[in-house]
Amino acid sequence: MSGCLFCQIARGDRHAHTVFEKEGTVAFLDIFPCTPGHTLVIPRQHYPTLDEMPAEEAGRLFHVAAVVAGKVQAAMGAAGFNLGVNNGKAAGQEVFHVHIHIIPRYPNDGGGSMKSVARMSGEKDIEQIASKIRQTFSPS
Ligand SMILES: [Zn+2]
């Protein structure tokens, strides 16, 4: 994808503050960081969204992200981190090349947990939801 910002970074055609490269993945600093050390981990190969990526490749990407997250936390002296993917426009995805955010967390940094990204209104039937999801694994 020649017009893709992250493909350009993966190819080295665009400057990024790269912190790690391995096994088809690149990790670099987000230029609009939520906290110091905010890092993005991307596959070199272009996939618009995570659900379009083969599960094995996604597994490798998350493996690298977990390793990099630990290193970022140590380097930054952070107290924790959030690891997350904005998958799809509704989830806030802006660059349509899969990327995992590593957001180091610090005491009193003003942020919230993953549960703060959306709010469910009203009562929902949790068992019905679980059933609906289970059915996608074994249709019929
Ligand atoms: Zn791309």
User: Could you read off the pLDDT of 25-79 as tens digits, one per residue?
Assistant: 999 999 999 999 999 999 999 999 999 999 999 999 999 999 999 999 999 999 9
pLDDT in tens, 99-112: 999 999 999 999 99
pLDDT at 113 over 80: yes
pLDDT of residue 139: 61
Count how many domains the chain has. Answer: 1
Q: For residue 17, which phi and psi values (nearest 5 degrees)? A: -85, 75
Q: How far is the CA of 42 from the centre of ligand 1 (A)?
A: 9
99 as an active site residue: the answer is yes
DSSP class of 67: H
CATH assignment at residue 109: 3.30.428.10
CA distances from 15 to 8, 37, 48, 108 (A): 9, 17, 21, 32
pLDDT value at position 119?
Answer: 86
Domain that holds residue 119: 5-137
- Whether 36 contacts 111, CB under 8 Å: no
Catalytic residue among 17, 38, 97, 99: 99
Pairing of strands 80-84, 25-29: unpaired
CA of 133 to the centre of ligand 1 (A): 30
Residue identified by tokens 């970074």 is 9
Cβ neighbors of 16 (< 8 A, separation 6 or more) are 9, 26, 28, 29
In angstroms, what is the span from residue 43 Cα to ligand 1's centroid? Answer: 9
- Centroid of ligand 1 to alpha carbon of 126 (angstroms): 36
140 pLDDT higher than 60: no
